[in-house]
Amino acid sequence: MPSRSYGQIVPIPFPTQSELSPLFDEQEAEYDHLRERQERHELHHRQLTLDARSIIPFCDTALTTGFDIRAKLLTSLTVFFDKPEGSQYVWPKPMNTVIVNDTLGVLTSLRDLTITGLEPRNDGWILDSCGALLERFCTDLWSLSKEMVSFLKKQTHLTSLIFIPKYRPQTKSNMYALLYRVDSTFLRALRTLRCGGGFLLFLERSRPKGMPPVRNLRVDLFATDRLLHTRILNALSLFGDTLKSLSLRFEAPAYSTRHVDDTICKFAEGSESWARLKFLEVRGMMYSRQAEKDFLHAIFRHFPRLRVLIWVPAYFAPDGHRLHPARVASQFLLRCQKLRRFVFVGPEVQDIMPPKYASYMKLKEDDLYVEGRLKRFETTWQDGAVFFDHSERGAEEEEESQGREGQLQDRHEG
């Protein structure tokens, strides 16, 4: 039987590494490009900003059949009812605000919500249908309305709450929250808070077992708060166990003649818990040579671990007409052992406008360094000393990560 011949076996040369590398690099670059496009696409659907012209068209779309899939992607929503300024769409009709209320009921995946610009008249009801468990909420809606309190009671995962001040006449109806009672679970996850004096009084009265575990706090005090000044500071004293960052902003000229050291003593006197505080900002009130000495003594006595101090006086006494910011900075930085950063606003600071401020950093015990413009000035209180001291950011982020993991587990169990 004749043998079969399969022909000659010809070896096929395998590509070398140098020949394959360009192919791999090209494929990897294409993959990175597709991934970036996907991330941009998802980010576009996750974050949305609406102004007065686009609110109603979006709501009409959101309430149509089939939008629920896209609604699950949206995690951040910003709504400006008062922008653009002068627009014919500003101050929406009551029916339109009802549509916005219904739309918030559809967006159940929201984690970040900002609503500003509604006419200050029973505006809190727009949140009635919102069923999302937010992590951040920013608004100029009235903080002491019945509707706002009811909304916040459901927000068990809220970590950041920002109330932007808006003038409202003081009436019995909009002071409802001062008569309200909540349990210890109210705002239990809150870490960052901006509010007025009235909201502090509400927390003091409604949570007899203690304040929420706030770390970063900004309090805006106006002329209408002067009659309750002492009571508001008493409420502030209850945050001493948890606060790491505190910003006190007093309206000028209502508080221009008050001394900052007297204010500090009212909420920090007799308490050792303020040793946690690392960031303090005081805006408003008066500067004088005596006020400087008393303020320095108050810092040295009550805040031994303070690392950052921002002082923005609203009024300068006659003896401060030849004020030298560098001299003021050296007094605080060299006498307070832990203090590393001092930001001061004075009449002769010409570096930055507006506001005119100078930032000083202590490199050594007897060496001061003058820094230029800060990346952020108005919102540094939200990060506290971590904004200036990167060595603390690692521990802060680890702590925040553990908190988020606990929230996700609670949400999953719920």
Q: Model pTM? A: 0.81
Residue 350 has pLDDT above 50, yes or no: no
CA–CA gap between residue 246 and residue 233 (Å, rounded): 13
Residues of the chain with pLDDT > 90, as a percent, come to 28
What whole-number distance in Å separates Cα of residue 239 and Cα of residue 160? Answer: 16
**CATH number at 45-214:** 3.80.10
DSSP result, 20-40:
HHHHHHHHHHHHHHHHHHHHH
Q: Mind listing the pLDDT tens digit for each residue in 166-197?
A: 877 665 555 555 667 788 889 999 999 999 99
pLDDT in tens, 105-142: 989 999 999 999 887 766 788 999 998 999 999 999 98
For residue 150, pLDDT over 80 is answered with: yes
3-state secondary structure of 413: helix
Q: What is the mean pLDDT of residues 307-329?
A: 82
Q: Which two tokens stand for residue 38?
A: 């996907």
Residue 405: pLDDT band with limits 50, 70, 90: low
Q: Do 145 and 124 touch, CB atoms closer than 8 A?
A: yes
- What is the domain partition of the chain in residue ranges? 45-214, 241-414
* Residue 372 pLDDT > 60: yes
Give me the pLDDT at residue 73, please.
81
Q: Between 290 and 259, whose confidence is greater?
A: 290
- What pLDDT is stored for residue 273 in this prediction? 75
CA separation, residue 405 to residues 76, 115, 330 (Å): 20, 27, 43
